[in-house]
Amino acid sequence: MLLVMGVPSVLARLAEFPNLPDIVIAQKMVGGVNVGTLLAIPFFIFAADLMAHGTIAERLMNLVKKNLGHRAGGIGHTTVVSCMAFGSVCGSAPATVAALGRFLHPELMRAGYKERFSLGLIASSAECALLIPPSITLLVYAWLTGTSVAALFAGGLAVGVVLALAFMLYVAFVTRRAGIEPAPRASSAERFEAVKASLLALGMPVIILGGIYSGFFTATEAAAVAVAYALLVEMVIYRQLGWRDVMQVAEQSALTIVAIFILLAVGSLLSYFVTLARLPDQLLMLLNDWQVNWIVFLLIINVVLLIAGMFIDPNSIMVILLPAIFPVATALGIDPIHFGLVVCLNICIGMITPPFGLDLFVTSSALRKPVETVIAGIWPFVLTNIAVLLVISYVPSISTALPRLLGY
């Protein structure tokens, strides 16, 4: 992806702007990522990795299981809600798959679900982490477009709930068709113990989201608090991680963070040349000539993003395409929050769409299952996603109602 974005940037500079000083290239790359909002990304990634290697993920899953497991499709619903819960403290779909997959897959198989369905459900449910705040994808969108992070988080919460409900409806349909019996009802004592064991884990989303929406701290400060809280809980209280474990987790997180920031830096350079070339203005003129309204524009964007998601990673999609299409969207009267959630949901679908959907390979690696089996089970969830995408695209109030209610 660095070549895909870097080579066009260099060629554009040589062909169209030969007099541009070389120092501008470095300035745009460094300046592009020298933004306070982006500091939230490394903190949230580190916090997610700490929790994935600790016990927070397992405790959240057990809490949901004890309260939903006895209902029809209980373990399937537990999978969806657990991924939502963990997504609310990590913001990363791959981290959600890696942290919860090893617990959820055996439970789904014991309940009687087919392996293809189980793998597809785990990979798809992890998407909710890209929508439920604190979403790293929404942070990147906010950085690229200047949209309020808190407003995007509020919209993402609403859209994430809608997507989760759609998955749960499909789980209910499969459960009824397969005649799968629910698990025995947990006793009141067992449910109480599950709540007690997960109180500190539940404190993470309360502190993060409560702090952001109360105005007590920013999204970036919330990310730093998330790391401190994860270290406190996993090292001091649960004593699941030692200093050596933390150093190993930090090393893994650093590799991920470096890759993301190099990508964003090169993307900033590409965005600069897109702006210099007045590509958004030319695109808007073309759409005006064709008399394209916002309805047709969103349909075109959805098709383009769905295809791009099959081959390009999420951050690259936004860095490459948003500088050109976001000004056009706002010129057509599309709310930036609504457009952000449409883009983010498209990226969610790309994470599970062959041939290069990242979550497909993370699920395969984490659960040691052939990627072909994961792909075979993913298609019903892709169709469910597309149905939700159409609803979100053409009912803007789903994305914007909660942000407006909160005053954004």
The whole-number mean pLDDT for each consecutive block of 10 residues of the chain, a chain of 408 residues, reads: 58 70 77 76 85 80 79 82 80 77 85 91 86 85 89 92 93 88 80 85 80 80 88 88 90 84 77 72 75 89 86 77 87 94 91 81 84 90 94 95 88
Tokens of 182: 């629910």
Dist CA 305 CA 345 (whole Å): 10
- The residue behind tokens 């990634």 is 45
Query: What pLDDT score was predicted for residue 163?
Result: 94
Cis omega (within 30 of 0) for bond into 336: no
Return the pLDDT at 3: 53
Tokens linked to 3? 């070549």
pLDDT of residue 395: 95
State residue 8's pLDDT score: 65
Instruction: Name the one residue in this structure whose structure tokens are 């209910």.
Output: 172
**Exposure class string for 4-38: b at 16+ Cβ within 10 A, else e:** ebbeebeebbeeeeeebeeeeeeebbeebbeeebb
